[in-house]
Amino acid sequence: MLLALHKPYGVLSQFTPETGSKWRTLADFGLPKAVYPVGRLDADSEGLLLLTDEPGLNSQLLDPVNAHVREYWVQVEHIPNAAALTRLAAGVRIGHHQTLPCRVQKLDPTPALPPRVPPVRFRKSVPDCWLALELTEGKNRQVRRMTAAIGHPTLRLIRMRIGGLSLGVLPAGQWRALTPGERALVLAWPAGASPADHANLREQKALKSFP
């Protein structure tokens, strides 16, 4: 069984509440009892979250050696210039980790997205814009730390795609079982990438494991 959930803002990617936490959990969405999330989205992030009862999918989708692509749409403060976007795409230092190269694109025009509940803070004096980032790794709060590293804090973060499967028009808070064709899309190579691209990424990861 493989399910897709549009995780709203303010929901932990787990079924058990944390003591003293203000966040909701996945237990609020009527999901089948046997499933668990494949990976996670932070409580303050939104978008596509997969759930399954198949243990083998965890390593298949999350093991960094598989370089499985995930696409995020990110609303950031101010308007990054070309140099900032080039730096982001080349990889930035976050803590002790150097992020792998990724695909970065400014979304123009601004995507028409439903408002977040609660809404993102708005300051008339501070412009913002949306970026699309394609990553093949998932460090803790990586996207937020990456945009902060180039001086553009994240205001809103939505995971739009895993593998070849997009979030589409699934409403926030709703879930559904994937069809066999959609399951194949989750596990597929990303559009525009070849097995050689993934082999190169795996080689980069192997090299980074040496001192």
Selected catalytic residue, list 28, 42, 44, 108:
42
Nearest to 131, CA basis, from 106, 159, 157, 103: 106
> Does the annotation mark 128 as catalytic?
no
CB count, 10 Å around CB of 17? Answer: 13
Active site residues per annotation: 42
